[in-house]
Amino acid sequence: MDKFDLMVIGSGSGLEVSADAAERGLSVAVVEEGPFGGTCLNRGCIPSKMLIHCADVMETIQGAHRFGITAKVESVDWQSIIRRVSEEVDGDARAVEEGNRQSTNITVFKGTGRFVGEKTLEVNGEKIQAETVLIAAGTRPSIPEIAGLEDVPYITSDEALRLPQQPGRLAIVGGGYIAGEMAHFFGAMGTQVTIIHRRLLMLREEDEDVARRFTEVYQRKFNMLLNAEVAQVSRNGDEIRLVVASDGRRVELAADALLLATGRIPNTDTLQVGETGVEVDQRGYIQTDQFLETNVPGIWALGDIVGKYLLKHSANLEAAYAANNILNPDDKVAVDYSAMPHAIFASPQVASVGLTEQELRAMGREYVVASYNYADTAYGSSIEDRDGFVKVLADPETGGILGTHIIGTDASILIQEVANAMRMGLTTDAITRSIYVHPALPEVVQRAFGALPV
């Protein structure tokens, strides 16, 4: 049995820890069953945003008439779009793997691993062991129980990013960020999209006003069945038939492809983490302390498999702390998750940092709130964004920023200044007393903060 100083399971953000350990001269085993780079590079944020940019370009062309410009799209080269993304992603993944294989002190084990004992992993029939273990093996798409699904060629976000042929009709089950982003991409490219969601609003984790506006916009753009459940699916040649129960009625529809976007689950079960004594919560996510160490001394975890935030920038943050805490056990530092922002690259974009209004109400916490529409600013009006707005929440006594929620053009960019202010512990004055370029879009953020009664 090969023994190492450190074993890292997963080749996403965990590689930051393995690289630091290898540089210090420790022997490191890196275990990965698929392409290197983790979910973000191969099946998540990178390829999806490359595809979504194509959708953004398409919407710009289709909306050109609003600005007195006559333009049309003559054709869409679907294979070229998919090939561009796949070649870049696959090239980066190969480069990451090759870099690890050539790195001094790192040994790569390519295959599916599962724990078979205390700090002992079996990969391709070979057992390896390490004094310190970092589990960063991520999550995978959750598959709901639907009658007939076993006989239907459904896809998840993994496959949706590499479809060789564009579907004419796409049924999406789910109402979260994946459903929102994929509906935007396929819909803008010309696919007829139907969204089936069990709730009345999409994006249930977002602030209620943002979720409501987003749902309203998507109802204008797509066929949506809300408060609905897929009761049964079947296959009729190349066609997929769905039976949907919606608001007490039975709806039947047909699609060329079925995308399941119903959340993600941790890979703790396939890893059999219980065999090494690691405890998980009721959802299956690994439980750690504030330093990212599990209940088993010497076994650590980070990223999506921890379930704190399923975000790449959160995993990168955790990796920096994990590297420090593993390599400097006498100087451990608790992870600071404060002001963790996130964004949804749909159309419209959504971005958020801090607490939502419904969360503040549930906490019984005092707050003041204000909103400002994009269209009420010079730049927002010039780009014809009639749906966008910024909503801010603050402490009425201290002026502390409690949360900011944005829907509209470049929301993913506009949220950053608020996240930075919150991270530094600044108050609303940091925004209202700053000098903003006029007539730039960030003015909408300052106007929202300026409308607060503090």
Q: Which residue has 């561009």 as its token pair? A: 84
| Residue 320 in tokens | 């920096």
Q: CA-to-CA distance for 10 and 171, rounded, in angstroms?
A: 32
Residues 119 and 115: their CA atoms lie apart, in Å, by 7
CA angle (186, 192, 197) in 5-degree steps:
85
Please list the residues that pair with 32 across neighbouring strands. Answer: 110
Of 65, 313, 342, 438, which is the active-site residue? 438
User: From the CB of residue 248, how many other CB atoms can be counted at a distance below 10 Å?
Assistant: 6
Residue 82: exposed, middle, or buried by beta-carbon count in 10 A (0-12, 13-18, 19+)?
buried
Closest-CA residue to 235 (of 156, 146, 157, 140): 146
Question: What span, in angstroms and rounded, lies between the C-alpha atoms of 383 and 329?
Answer: 53
**Burial degree of 223 (CB within 10 A; 0-12, 13-18, 19+):** middle
Structure tokens at 359: 């969360």
Residues 393, 354: contact at Cβ < 8 Å? Answer: yes
The 10 Å CB-count burial string (b at 16+, else e) for 299-330 is: bbbbbbbbbbbbbbebbebbbbbbbbbbbeee
Q: Is the previous residue joined to 348 through a cis bond, with omega within 30 degrees of 0? A: yes
Reading the block at residue 453, the tokens are 């009664």
123 beta partners: 113, 126
Annotated catalytic, 313?
no
| Catalytic residue list | 438
